[in-house]
Chains A and B, each alone.
Chain A
Amino acid sequence: EAGVAQSPRYKIIEKRQSVAFWCNPISGHATLYWYQQILGQGPKLLIQFQNNGVVDDSQLPKDRFSAERLKGVDSTLKIQPAKLEDSAVYLCASSVQGFGYTFGSGTRLTVV
């Protein structure tokens, strides 16, 4: 079974630039999550999709972060403009009704 695919693996950008991350969940997983993990901390949920609808985005900094899941499959997470404190690993995960969580390999973002 293919895992959760994420790209790119690494990204370095300057502050105030924009960046986008892509995630392809496991086929058939209706629920997709984006997490932000700052060094030394556990992952923090940014946004959760159920199919193509947003379940919760209460911790998403909406002034600079946006996410979409068109057609209920792939998802993109965008940051515009980036700040230094956005440096983190961005993880995508998918599940079937809260079970069978599978995480992607993550995108390590460095903002300089």
Chain B
Amino acid sequence: KNEVEQSPQNLTAQEGEFITINCSYSVGISALHWLQQHPGGGIVSLFMLSSGKKKHGRLIATINIQEKHSSLHITASHPRDSAVYICAVFTSGGGADGLTFGKGTHLIIQP
């Protein structure tokens, strides 16, 4: 069974700061998702990674398959980035849907 650990659990930062959220997993995977969840529950898929790095606007996601580690970076953070960020890994040893979720990182960006 894959274990997914995220850090930090909670993060409060000032507007404009560079943000890093980390995700580690215990078993080899075929893909990793970074998800964003706003208050009220809706989840948006930000990235799906299987290797290397992806960039979308101010968001950057990297993955190191050998080290079983991924990071999500936010540059020039803004209060609208305040949300819960969830890492989910896709493996054949995960749940029935193949996904194992981390518990999420609660990010607050203060103006």
Interface residue count on the A side (C-beta < 8 Å)? 28
- 9-residue interface stretch from B14-22, B34-42, B51-59, B61-69: B34-42
From residue B17, how far is it (CB to closest CB) to chain A in Å?
Answer: 24
Nearest A residue to B96 by beta-carbon distance? A56
**Judging by beta carbons under 8 Å apart, are A101 and B41 in contact?**
no
Interface of B is mostly: strand
Question: Does any Cβ of B come within 8 Å of A67's Cβ?
Answer: no
In chain A, positions 7-38 with a C-beta closer than 8 Å to chain B are 9, 31, 33, 37
Size class of the B contact interface (CB-based, 8 Å): 20 to 34
Contact status A101-B96, CB under 8 Å: no
User: Given A98-B97, A101-B33, A42–B43 Cβ distance below 8 Å?
Assistant: no
Docked pose: A39 CA to B42 CA in angstroms = 13
B97 touching A41, Cβ below 8 Å: no
Tell yes or no: B103 within 8 A of A by CB. yes
**Which residues of the other chain, A, contact B103 by a CB distance below 8 angstroms?**
40-42
Q: How far is the CB of B40 from chain A (nearest CB, A)?
A: 7
B43 in contact with A91 (CB, 8 Å): yes
Query: Beyond A48-B97, A103-B35, is A42–B86 a contact (Cβ under 8 Å)?
Result: yes
Known A40-B103, A101-B33, A103-B45: A9·B98 in contact at CB below 8 Å: no
Report B's interface with A, CB cutoff 8 A: 4, 31, 33, 35, 40-45, 48, 86, 88, 90, 95-99, 101-104
Chain A residues in the interface with B (C-beta under 8 A)? 9, 31, 33, 37, 40-43, 45, 48, 55-56, 58-59, 89, 91, 93, 95, 98-99, 101-108
